[in-house]
């Protein structure tokens, strides 16, 4: 695999990062995953904007790389690596000051790393009859209070994911101390009730997912769907007609069991099929 590190492309075996890098020592960094299918990116600029917002939020100086250069780096990675469904993983840390000390170093150059990672194949025509649904478990959200920042420090997410995975689950769906839905350990969550497509509002409890955004934009663009962003109690999730998760690696996938119990009749729902088809029609063209 060919990766990019601090200005150069190289085989992954040659990519060396110091153990004194704050990304290694503290998880002090920001990351992104930008999906591409047959060389076409989904939401490229939106991902870069969110990455820059994250860097600003934690005081990492933005690397001197323009949008055009990010695009070139990403295209180079696609060309040099195999696969039609590839995510471009970007990872920027505060850098290496040569010692382990909590305070931000005064003069340090961020470490910039990028690679490709295989993602879920793009669904041509979504079909609720053949699409397997996900099984998820739920848990109280025990992560930090700034989940809107896409920090590389993912221990909380990893522990939640593992908790579900060890029971055969595909994702862990989280709720806050008030029993309100937040998001998944690696995804945003959407429910459908009485044909209304509902997802929690953006705040510090959730990541502002690009897939979530593109889904809402495509549904509003086509019209005919009821879409709202509001607080969702877990009772509503457990009684929902449909539950979906969204992220850049899978786009929008249906959940058919929650904590071992079926969601509605336990089958992939019709609204998912329509919404996913609508998203598929627009996602490459919205804000790329």
From 52-60, 159-167, 242-250, 277-285, span contacting ligand PMP (CB under 6 A): 242-250
Nearest approach, Cβ of 207 to ligand PMP (angstroms)? 4
Region from 10-18, 132-140, 160-168, 241-249 binding ligand PMP, contact rule CB under 6 A? 241-249
In the numeric block, which tokens belong to residue 109? 């150059």
How large is the greatest C-alpha to C-alpha distance in the chain, in angstroms? 58
Alpha helices in the chain (DSSP H): 22-26, 44-57, 67-80, 155-165, 210-222, 234-238, 270-282
Q: Among residues 168, 203, 197, 190, which one has the least CA distance to residue 245?
A: 190
Q: Which of 78, 181, 210, 255 binds ligand PMP (CB under 6 A)?
A: 210
Among the residue ranges 14-22, 65-73, 112-120, 208-216, the one whose residues contact ligand PMP (CB under 6 A)? 208-216
Q: Which of 150, 221, 267, 274 is catalytic?
A: 150
User: Contacting ligand PMP (CB under 6 A), which of 36, 93, 211, 257?
Assistant: 211
Interface residue with ligand PMP, options 92, 119, 134, 207 (CB under 6 A) = 207
Nearer to ligand PMP, 190 or 240 (CB): 190
Pairing of strands 226-229, 196-199: parallel
Residues near ligand PMP (CB under 6 A), total: 14
Q: Which 16-45 positions form the footprint of ligand PMP (CB under 6 A)?
A: 33
| Sequence-distant (≥ 6) Cβ neighbours of residue 173 within 8 angstroms | 136, 137, 138, 139, 181, 183, 184, 189, 237, 243, 245, 255, 258
Q: Verify binding: residue 215, ligand PMP, rule CB under 6 A.
A: no
Burial class (CB in 10 A: 0-12, 13-18, 19+), 258: buried
Beta-sheet pairing, 85-93 with 111-118 = antiparallel
Least Cβ distance, residue 40 to ligand PMP (angstroms): 16
Residue 1 near residue 82, CB atoms below 8 Å = no
Residue 150: active-site member: yes
Q: Which residues bind ligand PMP (CB under 6 A)?
A: 33, 157, 183, 186-188, 207, 209-212, 246-248
């Amino acid at each position: 695999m060919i990766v990019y590190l601090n200005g150069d492309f190289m085989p992954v075996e040659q990519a060396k990062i110091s153990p004194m890098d704050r990304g290694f020592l503290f998880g002090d960094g920001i990351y992104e995953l930008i999906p591409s299918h047959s060389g076409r990116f989904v939401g490229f600029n939106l991902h870069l904007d969110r990455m820059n917002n994250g860097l600003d939020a934690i005081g990492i100086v933005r690397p001197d790389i323009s949008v055009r250069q990010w695009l070139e780096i990403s295209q180079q990675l696609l060309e040099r690596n195999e696969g039609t469904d590839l995510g471009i993983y970007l990872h920027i840390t505060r850098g290496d000051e040569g010692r382990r000390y909590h305070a931000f170093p005064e003069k340090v150059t961020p470490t910039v790393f990028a690679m490709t990672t295989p993602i879920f194949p793009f669904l041509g025509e979504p079909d609720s009859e053949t699409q397997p649904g996900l099984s998820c478990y739920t848990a109280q959200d025990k992560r930090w209070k700034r989940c809107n920042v896409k920090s590389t420090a993912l221990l909380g997410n990893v522990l939640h994911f593992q908790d579900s995975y060890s029971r055969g689950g595909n994702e862990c769906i989280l709720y806050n101390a008030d029993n309100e839905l937040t998001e998944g350990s690696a995804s945003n969550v959407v429910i459908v009730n009485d044909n209304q497509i509902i997802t929690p509002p953006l705040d510090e409890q959730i990541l502002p997912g690009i897939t979530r955004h593109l889904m809402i934009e495509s549904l509003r663009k086509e019209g005919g769907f009821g879409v709202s962003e509001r607080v969702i109690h877990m009772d509503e999730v457990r009684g929902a007609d449909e539950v979906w998760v969204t992220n850049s690696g899978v786009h929008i996938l249906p959940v058919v069991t929650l904590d071992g119990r079926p969601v509605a009749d336990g089958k992939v729902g019709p609204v998912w099929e329509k919404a996913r088809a609508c998203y598929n029609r627009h996602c490459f063209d919205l804000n790329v």
